[in-house]
Amino acid sequence: MPHSTVSPIIADVLRCFRQTRDVTSVSFPTPGFSGAIVVRANGPVGDFCLRGWPPDALPERRLRGLHRLLMHIHEQGVGCVSVPVQSEMSDTLFMRHGRYWQLEPWLPGTADYWSKPSEARLRSAARCLAKWHRAAKLFAPRQSEAEWFACRIQCESPAVRERLQRIRGLQHGGIHHLKESLPTNGRSEFHDIGRHILELFPQAATAIESELAAVKHFAFDLQPCLRDIWHDHVLFTGDEVTGFIDASACRFENVATDLARLFGSLIEDDSDAWQIALEEYQRQSPLTAEERALVQRLDRSAVLLAGITWLRRSCTKNEAVSNDERVVLRMQIIATRLERLMRTL
């Protein structure tokens, strides 16, 4: 479709790329909650994703480092990543209309594991993640990018430290504040589930805090990790993964963080499936005994904290998430997993 049929800002940005100068149609996929503008542009040379980062999102140095990391991973033969292309200004990132913009090929596939689960698909996801990690470990960041993307040997896990801080803060007034912040007039499914999660939190928090505290000072190898690789960010074509999307949370961490995030979202508490997934991953990239134990601790702490994150976004950040069916579904899953977790404590 002509540029004139879309907003002047989107049309202006699309003209900055050779690949989207003659687009035939544009569409706006279901938006996420990051505040980014995401546009799918179809044209003679293929489909592309135009992303406009929120004005206060990530520092420019981090975005540029992320682009270089994705290019490196792609050059290592990992085909499930999409690499930003250069604009007419010979740059993969540029400022226009108060935002940083980038354009990348639209990856094929659908995030439909929940509706079409299978062992073959689970194994494919595990293999792709292991290949991504192996490639990322070889990345050589520039000095300006090292604070996010450097490899570090035998260090404490940032995820463990950050989650301990969150749990302790919630135990010392945070939960009470959230309860006070929930609307008292009217009811919604989101807030009903939220109240249930808040009631369960104190019963589980002490045990999960102890689990994390026990490994707080353990030394792990750290490297670039996705950190937000979950169901909706994994695209399948048939039984094969054809896309890992949205690497915006990427920074150095232990690989256990990605394993917990991905498999916790795909297979929840299916112990047999967990064994299959971890065995498949380790065929490509072995884990230490400490890393395998860390995966479990990070998954359990994610179950404890995930619902709190959504409640905080709704109550203290004034985000309109409580009426979003996708968020309500996620809250239902979180509450069910938290109930199961309670039975293991």
**Burial degree of 226 (CB within 10 A; 0-12, 13-18, 19+):** buried
114 inside domain: no
Question: Residue 6: its pLDDT value, please?
Answer: 73
Last residue of a domain, which of 79, 105, 131?
A: 105
Do 91 and 124 belong together in one domain? no
Spatial CB neighbours of 16, under 8 Å, sequence gap ≥ 6 = 87, 88, 89, 94, 96, 101
Do 137 and 262 belong together in one domain? yes
Q: Report how many domains make up the chain.
A: 2
Q: What is the pLDDT of residues 251-280, one digit of tens each?
A: 999 999 999 999 999 999 999 999 999 999
The verdict on pTM exceeding 0.85 is yes
Question: Residue 317: its pLDDT value, please?
Answer: 59
Last residue of a domain, which of 55, 82, 105?
A: 105
For residue 272, the Cα-to-chain-centroid distance in whole angstroms is 24
Integer Cα distance of 41 and 22 in angstroms: 10
CATH code: domain of residue 127: 3.90.1200.10
287 inside domain: yes
Per-residue pLDDT of the chain (345 residues; tens, 9 = 90+): 444 467 889 999 999 999 998 888 899 887 666 778 999 999 888 999 999 998 888 999 999 999 999 999 999 999 999 999 999 888 999 999 999 999 999 999 999 999 999 999 999 999 999 999 999 999 999 999 999 999 999 999 999 999 999 999 999 999 999 988 887 655 688 989 999 999 999 999 999 999 999 999 999 999 999 999 999 999 999 999 999 999 999 999 999 999 999 999 999 999 999 999 999 999 999 999 999 999 999 999 999 999 999 998 887 655 667 778 888 999 999 999 999 999 998
First-to-last C-alpha distance (Å) of the chain: 57
Do 231 and 277 belong together in one domain? yes
111 inside domain: no
Question: Residue 35: its pLDDT value, please?
Answer: 75
Q: Are strands 251-253 and 220-225 parallel, antiparallel or unpaired?
A: antiparallel
**Among 216, 175, 218, 213, CA closest to 196:** 175
Do 135 and 97 belong together in one domain? no
Residue 70: domain span: 3-105
Do 336 and 208 belong together in one domain? yes
Do 77 and 165 belong together in one domain? no
Dihedral sign, Cα of residue 263, residue 264, residue 268, residue 273: positive
Integer Cα distance of 247 and 206 in angstroms: 32
DSSP alpha helix (H) spans, the chain = 8-14, 60-75, 119-136, 146-149, 158-169, 175-181, 189-213, 256-267, 271-284, 289-315, 325-342
Question: Residue 3: its pLDDT value, please?
Answer: 44
Do 135 and 88 belong together in one domain? no
244 inside domain: yes
CATH code: domain of residue 85: 3.30.200.20
Is 7 in a helix, a strand, or coil?
Answer: coil
Element (H, E) at 235: strand 234-237
Do 101 and 123 belong together in one domain? no
Do 149 and 87 belong together in one domain? no
Dihedral sign, Cα of residue 134, residue 138, residue 142, residue 143: positive
334 inside domain: yes
Do 64 and 32 belong together in one domain? yes
Do 57 and 147 belong together in one domain? no
93 inside domain: yes
157 inside domain: yes
110 inside domain: no
Last residue of a domain, which of 105, 133, 156?
A: 105
**Is residue 126 a contact partner of residue 277, using CB atoms and an 8 Å limit?**
yes
Do 95 and 123 belong together in one domain? no
For residue 76, the Cα-to-chain-centroid distance in whole angstroms is 22
DSSP alpha helix (H) spans, 50-118 = 60-75
* Residue 332 burial (CB count, 10 A): 14
